[in-house]
Structure formats: structure tokens, C-alpha cells
Amino acid sequence: MIRQILNLARWDVIKLRRRWMPWVFLVFIVLSSQLRLLTEYQKFSNADPGRIEVQAGPGDEEGEYTTIGISCLDIQDGAVESRLTGMQNEYRNKALQEIESLRERCPGTLAMYDTARKIFLNNAALPGSLSFGFGMFGTMGYVFVMILAAMAMGVEYTWGTARQVLAKGCSRGRFLAAKILALMAVVGIGHLVVMLFMGISGLVISYTLADNGITTDVVQWLRAGADAIKSMYMMLPYIILGMFFAILTSSASSGIVISVVFFIGESILRWIIGSYLGPDAARILISVNTPLWMTSLEFPALDDPPAIYNYMRDFLSTFLPILAYIIVFGSTSFWLFHRRDLRPSAGG
């Protein structure tokens, strides 16, 4: 039984590999994650916290004059005097007054900058960049996975391949299990590709912005691994939802359309329920629980029972609703697939 499921899953992966849709989705997610990381990198690599412009000389006929930029980092590094070299005393004294005013504000400015920079490095340098990449599977990644699942299941009706496979002695339950396993494998390969590119980017950032290069903190590396597992679990309900809509309509195109409408409709419903009934009432929706599921929870100390209780409560409050979606829509898909004809719908 297991061997048959694995063989079917292997052929499903090969079929998906030959289609353009998974590759387009993968390229989009990789480029989006790299662009977002590059944007954050540019912001911090060229940052001048508290920067002011001081007048460096007389103005021209149009009233414009040259300026010199001074930031809190210049004051911290003792580079102010070198930046003001060659200025006339009149403009130098005025500049020093402005710089003294800036110096008074610098402690708070630098504290906020250091905090923001630390958060950025935790997210962008290895291994934080890996978790950062998993976050890019959110939102658009959910839609992509649902579309991919609906397409992969729907074409079995359109091409009649499901009937051919079942005619060879494969049960419908094994067929569905193989399809889910193949889609999870494809999503897992996508995770590995994103991890590769984010790992390379994180390596560069680690040695250009981080003081100590790659961190050796075991907890951070374990958290990155846990985020990979959590991201894969987060994709499973969306795979099953996409397959459910394809089975419901016996069509790839209809399944894809309903998947997109479902995602948009649930996002709107999430806002309505959250606005009128409160955010806790919206926890029945999958789109509310998946972002919370990916939020890293700090592991509590083993000798702190209240902290362990709070950790398990927060963990289960997102794990169980996602599991409920998997069970409900998975069992419904299984029931429909067993009782409905495998001929395609009129719409294809």
C-alpha cells in the first residue's frame, strides 16, 4: 500500500514539474523574498539616524548653498571635526550649535536605531533569513498553493487520468493520499529553493552588517528549523482546500476560480467579523490562524509552570483550528471523491 502511494506521488511530482505554473509561482516567491530583503538591507546599510544638514558656506545668486550631512553615528564615531574641516568660522560656529542640539537627541535616536538594527539582523542574517523566507509563503503563497492543488486535482478529471489509475486497482483513498503527498513534496521543494537563496543572502548580510558574522546560537538555528516545519504544516490546509474545490466541481478551472474567491471572501469576512464581534470571534477562519501559527513563540523555561501553560495555550489555540480545517475538508473531500463520478464537468 505505502509503495503504491509513493509511486503515485512520484509520478504526480514529475507531472507537476513539467507544468509551467509551479515554476512561475516559485520564481515569484523567490524574487519577492529577495526584493523585500534587499529593501531592508539598503535601509540599514545606508542609514544615518538623526541626520541633519548644516550650511557649509555662503549661498549663490539663487539662494542655494552647500550643506554637509551630520548624523548621530558621526557624533558617536567622533567624526564631526573631520566633516567640518575647511569651513569658515561663521558657518562652523553655527553648524556646531546645530550639532550640539542634535547631540542631546542622539541617545534616544541611537537606542531606537540599535533596536531596529538588531531586529533586522535577527531576521536577515543567518539563520534568521531562513525564517524570513518562510514568511514570504504567507498571503500570496496561500493562494498559489490553493491554485496549484486545484489545478493538480482538477486535471485528473479533465484528462481522465484518475479513472485510468483507479482502473488499474488503486483505491480512491490511496489516490488522494498520493496527491496530497505529491503536493506537499512540491511545496517542500519550493521551501528548499527559497531557503537556498535566502541562505546565500543571509550569509552576505551576516558578514557585512553583523558584528560577529553567522551566529552560533543553537536556539536560533533550532527555531529556524521549527519555522520550516510550521510553514509546511501551515500549507497543508490550503492544499486540501484547493483539492476540495476541484473535487466539488470536477474541474480544474472552476476549482481555481473558487479557490481565489474563497481566499478573497474569507479576507473580507475576517475584517467584518473582527470589526463587529472582535478579533477572537474571527479565529474560526483559517486566514486568521495561519499568520499567528507562524509567529515564533519563545520556548519557556522548564522550571516555570505558568510560562509553560501560556506557551501551550498559545500553541494549541492556532494548531487545533488548522487541524480542524485539515480534518473537516480532508474528510469531506474523501467522501465526495468516493461517491461522485470521475467524469469532468461541462466547464472542464
Q: Domain ranges for the chain, please list them.
A: 2-46+125-339, 52-117
283: its cell numbers: 479565529
For residues 200 and 207, what is the distance between their CA atoms, to the nearest angstrom? 11
For residues 119 and 61, what is the distance between their CA atoms, to the nearest angstrom? 47
The 10s digit of each residue's pLDDT in 94-132 is 877 888 887 888 888 878 777 777 777 776 777 777 777
Which is more confident, 209 or 143?
143
Q: Residues near 290 by Cβ (< 8 Å), separated by ≥ 6?
A: 138, 142, 234, 237, 322
The 10s digit of each residue's pLDDT in 281-329 is 777 888 888 878 877 666 666 677 887 888 888 888 888 989 999 999 9
For residues 255 and 245, what is the distance between their CA atoms, to the nearest angstrom? 5
Give the angle 21-27-32 at the CA atoms, nearest 5°.
Answer: 125
Long-range contacts of 98-103 (CB under 8 A, 24+ apart): 98/52, 98/54, 98/70, 99/52, 99/54, 99/70, 99/75, 102/50, 102/52, 102/70, 102/72, 102/75, 103/75
The 10s digit of each residue's pLDDT in 198-223 is 888 877 777 776 655 566 777 778 77
Among candidates 257, 262, 279, which has minimal Cα distance to 270? 279
If you average pLDDT over every residue of the chain, what do you get? 81
Helices vs. strands in the chain: H and E counts, helices first: 13, 2
**Whole-model pTM?**
0.79
Element (H, E) at 192: helix 172-208
For residues 276 and 272, what is the distance between their CA atoms, to the nearest angstrom? 6
Highest mean pLDDT: which range of 88-92, 95-99, 246-250? 246-250
Which is more confident, 179 or 87?
179
